């Protein structure tokens, strides 16, 4: 046995631990049996002032535009949380997040990191906020949970079915709280729509519509962007940026959001909003722990109109139009319909009477489920009481499975049947090949 | 074949491979193998081809990909494994295992990863060998892969390393977890082995192992759970808390969990509160006795913890939650009291109703108030008698809220109560509002009495509207009394289709109620109220009797309640009151008529705008008149203009005069638009064809854009398919980038790439805007001139302005401009932004055809952007 004896330099997250051990001696990081010295944030919220020892200590990993919005509108203003560190492979982002945080807290305490393993090794950190590109959401989440951190991750939170399964497994195994950024599950209007369906106010619901982004294609770009000179690792650590994905030459456009629409980094037009709207529909139907069973190929570049039935006969239909705002859902029942999208003052309903007791419906939901309105609030509450968050790993994984299955049906241009129990396609060996992807050397994390 | 041709051919061949790989997903095994075998294949193509071979490859592909496993380029090695991992053929294991004997360093790391993912028992020996590799990265990868396999033999191979390296413990954990699915008792042993290690186990792995052990070893697991939940270490107790949620349904297990709640955890209040909540989430009523004990006042726990227990009981929908919630609702801690009230409000069933009623009868004012609030939020009709009682409560706030509750939930039986409250105190605003609110429920139109004659939604100024009659009728039939003016009216099953994207839309309705026809127009997001057409006698009679008998402030208060429904009865009462000799009543009535919600009081408003007793009332009446006139689309425009012209003299203040004038201008403009129909629907190219592929619709704008990459090298015409008009007027807004060159061809030939007929010219610089161009005579219709051309071709020019000066004056660069083009017989006149720029009279039939198509030109040139909107035409 010569495991762990040498700090051989290898790419990827695996090597960091061995290097740290090599430098500091294994007991410092991993050998300790004794209880951690720092007591993590706990106790129920008391409203108003929160003692420093009760705050949830958070760090960010990969915060771009969306991550900045999460941080500035939900984390920094919240007295329950204390944001202490930013890890990003781009210097520009590290500096921007540090500046924003320090300005808010009036100090210079926010630490910066390039290597996420270093930030995850800090025992004082309770929770991670991550909003990298899609390709790394699951990797960062799993490594964070393995390090004992709770995780709020942006969506789409898995690149493949296998990745989603690994997230579910890690959260369970390490007993961590996980919230995927499907924030409409915590918005009043959408909650009320879901409750209208659940309470039977719409009659028997056989059809639900999930909004599909009105841009992009299912078949994504396979062509690389032209090679540009690679900046220093301090400016952009390109190798870490790529993570488990296939290597390709650097082009600054990728790191500035241009990774979208590239096959290796993106879950297509379907994943863009399906990662929200499928989850919303499935939650409304009480089908968050399964996925549709059939994915009929639609001969369009976007899968617009794909009708996906669940095993119980309810059909979820992907639609690019039909709402005035983004990320809409529409539930059509025998006695009425309800619809909602971003920007609606109130849900749209077939009869205004459906909304007469809007507040009561909302409060009943809160009492029944213990969830609250406000997605980060729900996460914080669960971090404190260890309950399952509303967008827990299963909810994320099963709705992302719907995304992946629909993508695969479109890529292979044929109708697919999915077995949600075995989590595999029925009688389609080729489709089953697409349920996982090989990671680069050193990036295997499960 | 010369060199150039050869070069071009090879370029084309290269391009086609690229094209095949990038445009669609190429799944042709032979072709893909050929691509990866070529020496000049690019790295990009190599990666894509290897990936695609994973999708479709078989035995042949395995051979090709295996050859890349040891490639010096990491990118190729990964691509090869990417493909191989996907191929189900067991031959893949053979090549991977074979590679472990040949490779080292990072290449070997990758192969070991792939073996772990493949999960074959055959790879155990090879992985075990690599565990002893001198390269730590290789050894780690082997350990990880063995854990991933989750096979007994792999665990056997890992076992010697357990306790010596944290990575092994982690892998062991992964393996045990996989084994737990099929053999929980075996897995429990494996988890226990990890926990037994004294060192080299990360804390999170140790806790995960404990969790695994608890979940896979039944009763013994519960013993371990009890130890962990009482641990002082929060992460340890948190792990135990999570087990409560994951542990299989079993009332005995729940009882064990609940058994720790009250006494054992009394000294650990934070864990106690969390355990209470997860017991609620667990959804097993076996936890009720323990939760009820904790929630009880006598439990000695803090109010936060009692609340946690009560909330958990509420999650379990157990009535035991009610007494503690009731007590906590009156807590001094505002946050606790609020949370308890919320939980009580969300609690369903009779037991909860009874608790609320009891609170309303409590001697303590704060509890009565809390009970009342809850009854209101729960909309408890059974609480109305209690509310009636509280309406005379000694606490003014309670009495006020109770009156509001009677208004919200009461029946006609409560009308006398409200009337007496108003009689006692006409300033009692709550009672007046409550009376209105109660009345609104006695004015619901009954089935068959409301008929929708017509309803249309859209932008009426340019005719972009949709008939929504059937959908509005369906809403009314379904019991709707309020019709909201919004896009959802456009299609019943919900998928709305915007008739005029980007425009402020309106709803116009003509409907009948009890045989009386009414019409109304409201803006987007406003509503038409169909309710209150007639207040039922059971409500109307007592109020009217009280009104007739009342005087002074009392009467005014009742007037406000009676007219709040804006119905016919209210209108008649208001009209009579406006003539009353009591000045205060008169003023209240005039104010009401001015602010009437439908246009039915239009004449009344006009009358009082002219001769109300005070200046202030005149102003109010005028404003009301203008608002109601805006809703009155059935009044012809010329009549509206005449009424507005009358109103000019009623306006007292300058700002009112300005307002009236603005409305006159708007109405005149609208009148000028009569007879026009849209040439462009704002969302599609439905009325157009041709255009050389340049034109698209974006945000309600018809536009064409060229770029450096996609230059416009040839003139083209977008052809209107609406016919070949002879005499017409066209109005259109246009906006041009500085280099743009376009124009509207008149009476042209139906040719996509033709250039015929006179053209209302335009370019971004403005040099040609307002000129009439002709392909054979160029800028013949000069800006600032009237040009006459006789049958013999003799041209006469009468100049009315300088071409440059006029251009500078009328044209706005880089902004929207309006063209008006009038073609009548042999005369064509152009206006830009309302100012005449050119008039041309051409008597030659060969140059001035009688009719033809209308087209929009895209002129060849540098990168440009051309935009049109509000394109409309009127036949003359």
Mind giving me the DSSP string for B718-753? EEE-S---SSEEEEEEEEE-TT-EEEEEEEE-S-TT
| pLDDT tens-digit series, residues B855-868 | 999 999 889 999 99
**Which pLDDT does position A225 carry in this prediction?**
95
Model confidence over A264-279: pLDDT tens digits?
A: 999 999 999 999 999 9
Shared-domain flag, residues B136 and B58: yes
How far from A169 is each of A164, B65, B86, B297, CA to CA, in Å? 9, 32, 22, 41
Mean pLDDT value of segment B594-607:
91
Note whether residue B204 is domain-resident. Answer: yes
Please say whether the beta carbons of B239 and A175 come within 8 A: yes
Whole-number pLDDT of residue A206: 94
- Residue B199 has its nearest CB partner, among A31, A348, A437, at A31
User: Angle at CA A438, nearest 5°, toward A434 and A439?
Assistant: 140
Burial bucket for residue B176 (CB in 10 Å: 0-12, 13-18, 19+): buried
Residues B643 and B709 reside in one and the same domain: no
Residues B703, B778 within the same domain: yes
Q: What is the pLDDT of residue A44?
A: 34
Residue B640 covered by a domain: yes
Q: SS in 3 state form for chain A? A: CCCCCCCCCCCCCHHHHHHHHHHHCHHHHHHCCCCCCCCCCCCCCCCCCCCHHHCEEEEEEEECHHHHHHHHHHHCCCCCEEEEEEECCEHHHHHHHHHHHHHHHCCCCCEEECCHHHHHCCCCCCEEEEECCHHHHHHHHHHHHHCCCEEEECCCCCCCHHHHHHHHHHHHHCCCCEEECCHHHHCHHHHHHHHHHHCCCCCCEEEEEEECCCCCCCCCECCCCCCCCCCCCCCECHHHHHCCCCCCCCCHHHHHHHCCCECCCCCHHHHHHHHHHHHHHHHHCCCCCCCCCEECCCCCCCCCCCEEECCCCCEEEEECCCCCCCCCEEEEECCEEEEECCCCCCCEECCHHHHCCHHHHHHHHHHHHCCCCCHHHHHHHHHHHCCCCCCCHHHHHHHHHHHHHHHHHHHHCCCEEEECCCCEECCCHHHHHCCCCCCCCCCCCC
In this structure, the number of other CB atoms found within 10 A of the CB of residue A257 comes to 11
pLDDT for the residue B23 = 57
Q: Does A46 touch chain B (CB under 8 A)?
A: yes
Is B737 near chain A, with CB under 8 Å? no
Residue B773 pairs with which residues in a beta bridge? B759
In angstroms, the separation between the Cα of residue B758 and the nearest Cα of chain A is: 40
B807 is a domain residue: yes
By DSSP bridging, strand A178-180 and strand A150-153 are: parallel
CB contact under 8 A, B235 and A388: no
Would B125 be classed as within a structural domain?
Answer: yes
Which of the residues B28, B62, B146, B208 would you substitute to probe the A interface, choosing the one with the greatest number of A C-beta atoms within 10 Å?
B208
A-B interface: how many C-beta pairs under 8 angstroms? 276
Instruction: For residues B155 and B34, state if they share a domain.
Output: yes
What is the rounded distance in angstroms from the CA atom of residue A363 to the CA atom of residue B308?
17
B375, part of any domain: no
Taking the CA of residue B687 and the nearest CA in chain A, the distance in Å comes to 22
CB B369 within 8 A of CB B398: yes
Mean pLDDT (whole number) for A415-431: 97
φ/ψ of B832, rounded to 5, equals -120, 125
List Cβ neighbours of B252 (8 Å cut-off, separation of 6 or more). Answer: B286
Rounded to 10 degrees, the C-alpha dihedral B596/B600/B602/B603 comes to -130
Residue B626 vs residue A335, higher pLDDT: B626
pLDDT above 80 for B533? no
Task: Please give the residue range of the domain that contains residue B523.
Answer: 450-529
Q: Is B478 on the interface with A (CB under 8 A)?
A: yes
Query: Residue B778, Cβ neighbours under 10 Å: how many?
Result: 10
pLDDT at B832 over 80: yes
Cβ neighbours, 10 Å, residue B10 = 11
- Please check whether residue A439 touches B, CB under 8 A: yes
The candidate with the shortest Cα–Cα distance to A339, out of B480, B496, B466, B470, is: B496
Q: pLDDT tens digit string along A114-131?
A: 999 999 999 999 999 999
- Residues 98..157 of B with a Cβ closer than 8 Å to A: which? 106-107, 109-110, 113-114, 116-117, 131-137, 139-141, 143-145, 148
CB contact under 8 Å between B140 and A18, yes or no, is yes
Asked if A339's CB is within 8 angstroms of B116's CB, the reply is no
- Number of independent structural domains in chain B: 4
Q: Cα(first)–Cα(last) distance of chain A, in Å?
A: 22
**Which one of A352, A427, A430, A431 makes the best mutation probe of the B interface by having the most chain B beta carbons within 10 Å?**
A352
- Domain stop point among B653, B672, B691: B672
State residue A50's pLDDT score.
65
Domain containing B772 — which CATH number? 2.60.120.560
Same domain? B732 vs B604: no
Q: Among the three residues B225, B246, B278, which one is the final residue of a domain in this structure? A: B225
Q: Which of B51, B234, B280 sits opposite A370 (nearest CB)?
A: B280
Q: Is A4 on the interface with B (CB under 8 A)?
A: yes
| pLDDT tens for each residue of B415-434 | 999 999 999 999 999 999 99
Residues of A in contact with B117 (CB under 8 A): 436, 438, 444
Instruction: Kindly determine whether residue A246 and residue B51, on different chains, have CB atoms separated by under 8 Å.
Output: yes
- Confidence band, pLDDT 50/70/90 cuts, at residue B2: very low
Pick B440 or B193 by higher pLDDT.
Answer: B193
pLDDT for residue B528: 81
**Of the candidate ranges A13-22, B494-503, B644-653, the one whose mean pLDDT is the lowest:** A13-22
- Identify which of A29, A209, A219 has the shortest CB distance to residue B25: A219
pLDDT at residue B14, rounded to an integer: 47
Report the pLDDT value the prediction gives residue B424, as an integer from 0 to 100.
94
Decide if B321 is inside a domain: no
Are both B786 and B697 inside the same structural domain?
yes
Confidence of residue B769 (pLDDT cuts 50, 70, 90): very high
- Hey, which residues does A130 pair with through a beta bridge? A61, A153
pLDDT of res. B444: 59
Query: Are A348 and B207 within 8 A, CB to CB?
Result: no
pLDDT of residue B636: 87
What sign does the CA torsion over B330, B336, B341, B347 have?
negative
Q: What is the pLDDT of residue A82?
A: 96
- CB contact under 8 Å between B480 and A352, yes or no, is yes
Give the model's pLDDT for residue B305: 93
How far is A132 from chain B, CA to nearest CA, in Å? Answer: 23
For residue B785, give the 3-state DSSP assignment: strand
Task: Give yes or no for a contact between A57 and A124, defined as CB atoms under 8 angstroms apart.
Answer: yes
Q: What is the mean pLDDT of residues B175-204?
A: 95
Give the strand pairing for B677-678 and B728-736.
Answer: unpaired
| Statement to judge: residues B695 and B759 lie in one domain | yes
Question: How would you label B687-706 residue by residue, b for 16+ Cβ within 10 Å and e otherwise?
Answer: bbbbbbebbebeebbbbbbb
Q: Tell me the backbone φ, ψ of residue B202, rounded to 5 degrees.
A: -60, 145
Residues of chain B found within 8 Å of residue A441, distances taken between Cβ atoms: 74, 77-78, 106-107, 109-110, 113
Please report which helix (H) or strand (E) contains residue B616, including its range: helix B615-631
Which of A4, A350, A366 has the CB atom closest to B478's CB atom? A350
* Cis peptide bond upstream of A156, omega within 30: yes
For residue B693, give Cα distances in angstroms to B306, B698, B705, B717.
71, 15, 10, 10
- Contact at 8 Å (CB) between B459 and B465? yes
Residue B310's closest chain A neighbor by CA? A367
- Rounded CA separation B268/B238 (Å): 13
At residue A42 the predicted structure's pLDDT band, cuts being 50, 70 and 90, is: very low
Q: Does position B13 have pLDDT exceeding 70, yes or no?
A: no
Query: Is B700 a member of any domain?
Result: yes
Q: Is residue B112 located within the same domain as residue B200?
A: yes
CA distance B344 to B322: 7
Cβ within 8 Å of A, B 41-60: 43-44, 47-48, 51, 54-56
Tell me the nearest-neighbour CA distance from A33 into chain B, angstroms.
Answer: 7
Residues of B in contact with A442 (CB under 8 A): 106, 109, 137, 141
Name the residue of chain A whose CA is nearest to B475's CA: A351
Most confident of the following: A277-281, A302-306, B536-540: A277-281
pLDDT for residue B375 is more than 70 = yes
Residues of chain B in contact with residue A369, where contact means CB-CB under 8 angstroms, are 315
Distance of CA A253 to the CA centre of its chain: 23
CATH of the domain at B53: 1.25.10.10
Closest residue, chain A, to B114 (C-alpha): A438
| Cα–Cα distance measured from residue A284 to residue A282, given in angstroms and rounded to the nearest whole number | 5
Query: Do B750 and B853 fall within a single domain?
Result: yes
- In chain B, the residue whose alpha carbon lies closest to the alpha carbon of A41 is B234
Any CB–CB contact under 8 A between A300 and chain B? no
Q: Report the percentage of chain A scoring pLDDT > 90.
A: 77
pLDDT higher than threshold 50 for residue A17? no
| Closest C-alpha to A322, from A183, A214, A399, A215 | A214
Between CA A378 and CA A280 the distance in angstroms is 16
On chain A, the residues whose CB falls within 8 A of the CB of B277 are 370, 385, 387
Q: Could you give the CA distance from residue B765 to residue B813 in angstroms, rounded to a whole number?
A: 7
Query: ∠ at Cα A172 (A169, A173), nearest 5°?
Result: 80
Name, in order, each residue with C-beta under 8 angstroms of B715's C-beta and a sequence gap of 6 or more.
B753, B755, B857, B858, B859, B860
Task: For residue A436, list chain B residues with Cβ-Cβ distance below 8 A.
Answer: 85-86, 117
Q: In this predicted structure, what is the pLDDT of residue B726? A: 93
Residues 6+ away with beta carbon under 8 Å from A113: A85, A86, A87, A88, A94, A119
Per-residue confidence band for B527, with pLDDT thresholds at 50, 70 and 90: confident
Is the CB of A8 inside 8 Å of chain B's CB atoms? Answer: yes
Interchain contact, B74 vs A247, CB within 8 Å: yes
User: Is some CB atom of chain B closer than 8 A to the CB atom of A350?
Assistant: yes
The pTM (predicted TM-score) of the whole model is 0.69
Say yes or no: B684 contacts chain A, CB-CB below 8 A: no
What pLDDT does residue B297 have?
A: 82
- Same domain? For B686 and B652 the reply is no
The reply to whether B212 and B174 lie within a common domain is yes
**pLDDT at residue A37 tops 50:** no
Q: Read off the pLDDT of residues B453-479 as tens digits, 9 standing for 90 and up.
A: 899 998 887 777 888 888 888 777 766
Mean pLDDT for chain A? 88
pLDDT tens sequence across A181-216: 999 999 999 999 999 999 888 989 999 999 999 888
Identify the closest residue of chain B to A222 by CA–CA distance.
B22
Q: What is the mean pLDDT of residues B609-617?
A: 92
What percentage of chain B exceeds 70 in pLDDT? 95
Q: Which three-class secondary structure state does DSSP give residue B132?
A: coil
Per-residue pLDDT of B782-800, as tens digits, reads: 999 999 999 998 999 999 9
DSSP codes of every residue in B237-295: HHHHHHHHHHSPS-HHHHHHHHHTTTTTTTT-HHHHHHHHHHHHHHT-GGGHHHHHHHH
Given this model, what pLDDT does residue B480 score? Answer: 67
Question: What are the tokens at A380?
Answer: 């914080």
Locate the chain A residue with the closest alpha carbon to B496.
Answer: A322
Q: With CB atoms and an 8 Å threshold, state whether A3 touches B482.
A: no
Q: Is the pLDDT of residue B807 over 80?
A: yes
pLDDT of residue A412: 96
Instruction: Place B727 in a pLDDT band, splitting at 50, 70 and 90.
Output: very high
Res B758 pLDDT > 50: yes
- Each residue's pLDDT tens digit, A56-81: 999 999 999 999 999 999 999 999 99
Please indicate, yes or no, if residue B750 is contained in any of the structural domains. Answer: yes
> Which of A42, A246, A438 is nearest residue B114 as measured by Cβ atoms?
A438
Q: Name the B residues in 542-561 with CB < 8 Å from any A CB.
A: none
Q: Report the distance separating Cα A137 and Cα B22, nearest Å.
A: 26
Q: State the DSSP code for B23.
A: H
For the segment B700-726, the average pLDDT, to the nearest whole number, is 91
Q: Are B166 and A30 an interchain contact pair (Cβ–Cβ within 8 Å)?
A: yes
Q: Which residues of A touch B246 (CB under 8 A)?
A: 172
Of B177, B208, B346, the CB nearest to A366: B346
The domains of chain A, with CATH numbers, are 1-35 (no CATH), 42-183 (3.40.50.720), 184-217+267-433 (3.30.360.10)
Q: Is B744 on the interface with A (CB under 8 A)?
A: no
Q: Which of A36, A174, A436 shows the shortest C-beta gap to B208?
A: A174
Contact between B697 and B682 under an 8 Å Cβ cutoff? The reply is yes
> Are the CB atoms for B211 and B243 separated by under 8 Å?
yes
Question: pLDDT above 70 covers what percent of chain A?
Answer: 88
Mean pLDDT of A359-388: 92
Report the residue of chain B nearest A435, measured CA to CA: B86
Distance from CA of B676 to the nearest CA of A (A): 29
Q: Give how far the C-alpha of residue A59 lies from the chain's centroid of Cα atoms, to the nearest Å.
A: 16
B800 and B847 assigned to the same domain: yes
The residue in chain B having the minimum alpha-carbon distance to the alpha carbon of residue A319 is B495
Which region among A409-418, B175-184, B276-285, B561-570 has the lowest average model confidence (pLDDT)? B561-570
Domain boundary among B672, B702, B722: B672
Query: Please, what is the angle between helix B568-578 and helix B602-611, to 10°?
Result: 20
pLDDT confidence of residue A352: 77
Cα dist. B740→B379, B736, B769, B861 in Å?
Answer: 64, 6, 12, 8
DSSP assignment of B74-99 equals HHHHHHHHHHHHH---THHHHHHHHH
pLDDT of residue B534: 75
Q: What integer is the mean pLDDT of B600-610?
A: 94
């Amino acid at each position: 046995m010569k495991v762990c004896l040498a700090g051989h330099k290898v790419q990827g997250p695996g090597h960091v631990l061995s290097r740290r051990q090599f430098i500091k001696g294994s007991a410092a990081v991993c050998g300790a049996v004794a209880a951690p010295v720092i007591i993590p944030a706990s106790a129920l919220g008391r409203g108003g002032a929160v003692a420093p020892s009760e705050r949830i200590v958070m760090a960010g990993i990969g915060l771009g535009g969306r991550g900045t919005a999460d941080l500035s509108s939900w984390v920094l203003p919240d007295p329950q949380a204390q944001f202490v560190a930013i890890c990003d492979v781009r210097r520009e982002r590290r500096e921007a997040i540090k500046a924003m945080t320090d300005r808010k807290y009036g100090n210079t305490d926010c630490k910066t990191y390039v290597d996420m393993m270093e930030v995850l090794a800090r025992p004082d950190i309770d929770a991670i906020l991550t909003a990298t590109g899609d390709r790394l959401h699951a990797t960062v989440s799993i490594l964070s949970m393995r390090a004992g951190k709770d995780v709020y991750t942006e969506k789409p939170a898995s690149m493949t079915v296998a990745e989603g399964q690994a997230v579910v497994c890690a959260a369970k195994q390490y007993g961590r709280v996980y919230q995927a950024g499907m924030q409409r599950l915590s918005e009043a209007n959408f909650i009320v729509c879901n409750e209208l369906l659940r309470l039977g106010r719409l009659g028997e619901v056989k059809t639900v519509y999930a909004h599909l982004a009105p841009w992009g294609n299912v078949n994504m770009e396979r062509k690389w962007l032209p090679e540009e000179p690679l900046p220093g690792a301090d400016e952009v650590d390109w190798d870490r940026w790529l993570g488990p994905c296939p290597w390709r030459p650097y082009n600054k456009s990728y790191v500035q959001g241009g990774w979208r629409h590239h096959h290796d980094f993106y879950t297509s037009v379907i994943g863009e909003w399906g990662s929200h709207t499928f989850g919303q529909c499935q939650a409304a139907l009480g089908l968050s722990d399964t996925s549709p069973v059939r994915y009929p190929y639609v001969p369009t570049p976007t899968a617009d109109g794909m009708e996906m039935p669940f095993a119980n006969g309810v059909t979820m239909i992907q639609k690019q139009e039909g709402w005035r705002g983004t990320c809409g859902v529409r539930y059509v029942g025998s006695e009425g319909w309800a619809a909602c999208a971003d920007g609606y003052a109130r849900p749209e309903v077939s009869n205004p009477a459906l909304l007469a007791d809007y507040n009561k419906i909302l409060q009943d939901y809160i009492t029944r489920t213990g969830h609250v309105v406000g997605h980060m609030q729900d996460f914080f509450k669960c971090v404190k009481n260890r309950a399952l968050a509303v967008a827990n790993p299963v909810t994320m994984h099963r709705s992302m499975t719907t995304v992946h299955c629909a993508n695969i049906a479109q890529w292979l241009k044929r109708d697919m049947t999915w077995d949600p129990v075995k989590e595999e396609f029925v009688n389609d060996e080729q489709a089953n090949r697409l349920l996982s992807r090989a990671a680069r050397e050193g990036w295997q994390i499960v | 074949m010369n060199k150039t041709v050869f070069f071009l051919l090879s370029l084309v061949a290269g391009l086609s491979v690229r094209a095949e790989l990038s445009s669609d997903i190429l799944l042709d095994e032979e072709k893909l193998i050929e691509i990866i075998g070529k020496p000049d294949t690019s790295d990009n193509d190599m990666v894509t081809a290897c990936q695609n071979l994973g999708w479709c490859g078989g035995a042949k592909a395995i051979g090709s990909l295996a050859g890349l496993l040891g490639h010096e380029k990491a990118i190729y090695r990964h691509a090869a494994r990417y493909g191989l991992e996907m191929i189900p053929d067991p031959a893949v294991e053979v090549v991977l295992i074979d590679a472990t004997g040949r490779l080292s360093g990072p290449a070997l790391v990758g192969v070991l990863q792939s073996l772990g993912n493949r999960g074959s028992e055959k790879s155990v020996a090879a992985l075990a060998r690599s565990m002893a590799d001198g390269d730590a990265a290789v050894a780690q990868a082997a350990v990880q892969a063995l854990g991933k396999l989750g096979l007994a033999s792999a665990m056997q191979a890992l076992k010697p390393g357990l306790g010596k390296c944290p990575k092994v413990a982690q892998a062991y954990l992964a393996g045990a977890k996989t084994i737990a699915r099929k053999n929980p008792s075996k897995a429990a042993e494996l988890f226990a082995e990890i926990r037994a290690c004294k060192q080299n186990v990360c804390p999170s792995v140790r806790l995960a192992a404990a969790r695994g052990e608890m979940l896979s070893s039944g009763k013994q697991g519960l013993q371990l759970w009890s130890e962990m939940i009482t641990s002082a270490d929060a992460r340890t107790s948190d792990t135990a808390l999570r087990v409560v949620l994951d542990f299989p349904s079993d009332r005995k297990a729940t009882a064990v969990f609940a058994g720790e709640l009250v006494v054992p955890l009394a000294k650990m209040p934070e864990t106690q509160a969390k355990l209470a909540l997860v017991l609620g989430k667990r959804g097993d009523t076996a936890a009720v006795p323990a939760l009820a004990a904790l929630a009880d006042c006598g439990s000695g726990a803090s109010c936060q913890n009692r609340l946690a227990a009560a909330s958990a009981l509420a999650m379990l929908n157990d009535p035991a939650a009610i007494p503690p919630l009731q007590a906590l609702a009156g807590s001094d801690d505002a946050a606790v009291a609020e949370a308890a009230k919320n939980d009580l409000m969300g609690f369903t069933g009779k037991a909860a109703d009874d608790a609320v009623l009891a609170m309303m009868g409590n001697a303590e004012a704060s509890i009565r108030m809390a009970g009342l609030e809850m009854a209101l939020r729960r909309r408890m009709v059974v609480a109305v008698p209690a509310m009636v009682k509280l309406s005379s409560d000694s606490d003014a706030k309670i009495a006020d809220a109770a009156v509001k509750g009677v208004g919200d939930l009461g029946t006609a039986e409560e009308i006398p109560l409200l009337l007496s409250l108003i009689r006692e105190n006409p300033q009692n605003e709550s009672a007046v509002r409550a009376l209105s609110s109660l009345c609104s429920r006695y004015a619901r139109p009954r089935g068959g009495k409301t008929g929708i004659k017509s309803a249309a939604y859209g932008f009426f100024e340019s005719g972009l509207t949709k008939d929504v009659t059937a959908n509005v009728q369906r809403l009314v039939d379904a019991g709707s009394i309020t019709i909201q003016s919004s896009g959802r009216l456009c299609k019943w099953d919900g998928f709305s289709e915007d008739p005029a994207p980007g425009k402020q839309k309106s709803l116009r309705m003509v409907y009948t109620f009890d045989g009386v026809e009414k019409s109304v127009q409201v803006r987007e997001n406003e509503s038409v109220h169909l309710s209150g057409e007639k207040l039922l006698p059971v409500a109307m009679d007592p109020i009217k009797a009280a009104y007739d008998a009342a005087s002074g402030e009392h009467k005014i208060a009742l007037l406000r309640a009676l007219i709040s429904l804006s119905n016919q009865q209210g209108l008649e009462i208001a009209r009579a009151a406006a003539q009353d000799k009591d000045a205060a009543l008169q003023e209240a009535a005039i104010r009401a008529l001015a602010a009437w919600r439908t246009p039915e009081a239009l004449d009344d408003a006009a009358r009082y705008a002219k001769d109300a007793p005070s200046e202030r009332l005149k102003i109010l009446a005028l404003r009301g008149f203008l608002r109601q006139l805006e809703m009155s689309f059935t009044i012809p425009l010329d009549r509206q203009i005449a009424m507005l012209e009358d109103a000019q003299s009623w306006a007292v203040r300058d700002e009112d005069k300005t307002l009236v004038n603005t409305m006159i201008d708007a109405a005149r403009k609208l009148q000028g638009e009569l007879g026009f129909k849209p040439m462009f629907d704002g969302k599609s190219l439905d009325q157009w064809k041709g255009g050389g592929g340049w034109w698209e619709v974006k945000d309600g704008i018809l536009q064409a854009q060229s770029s450096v990459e996609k230059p416009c090298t040839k003139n083209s015409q977008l052809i209107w398919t609406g016919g070949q008009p002879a005499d017409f007027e066209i109005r259109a807004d246009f906006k041009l980038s500085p280099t743009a060159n376009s124009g509207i061809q008149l009476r042209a030939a139906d040719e996509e790439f033709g250039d015929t007929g006179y053209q209302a010219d335009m370019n971004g610089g403005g040099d040609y805007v307002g000129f009439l161009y002709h392909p054979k005579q160029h800028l013949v219709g000069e800006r600032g001139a009237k040009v006459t051309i006789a049958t013999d071709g003799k041209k006469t020019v009468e100049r009315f302005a300088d071409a440059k000066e006029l251009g500078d004056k009328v044209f706005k660069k880089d902004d929207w401009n309006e063209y008006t083009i009038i073609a009548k017989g042999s005369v064509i006149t152009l206006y830009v932004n309302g100012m005449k720029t050119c008039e041309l009279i051409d008597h030659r039939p060969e140059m001035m055809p009688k009719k033809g198509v209308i087209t929009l030109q895209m002129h060849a040139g540098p990168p440009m952007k051309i935009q049109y909107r509000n394109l409309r035409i009127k036949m003359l």
